[in-house]
Amino acid sequence: MVTEGSEYYFDPIGLFVEAGETVTFEIESGSHSATAYSEDTSSASVTRIPDGAAAFNSEILSEQGATYEHTFETTGTYDYFCLPHKTLGMVGRIVVGEPGGPAEGSMPPDGPVPESQTIVDQGSVSYSDFSG
């Protein structure tokens, strides 16, 4: 999770993992969160995680090197955002096992992310390589 000048982003912006794997989100600079698009979260008006999947929310982390971990158990596509920078397009996508769920076939409401199949094919998509 990075702040660089006037840019706020997740790097990688797209990541592929297998079900049961744990992802660690780490603050490189700035104050950020990793928050699932789930209507269970007060800041999300839509759900963009698979049915039955656990929503995640790191809350805002501010200290450089601070981390948040989430284990992804349910197969499908997960879109997520940063609480303070959602309106600036700080969004990301994780594909677990294979694409699927309500995030498929469209982009998050707050900014573009790589297509799920691109993420699966490449394993991860860095922010600098994404031209969304």
Residue 1 assigned ligand-binding role: no
Distance between CA 43 and CA 38 in Å, rounded? 9
Distance between CA 14 and CA 12 in Å, rounded? 5
| DSSP notation for 56-77 | -B---B-STT-EEEEEE-S-EE
Residue 82 assigned ligand-binding role: yes
Provide the annotated binding site for Cu cation: 82, 85, 90
Provide the annotated binding site: 82, 85, 90
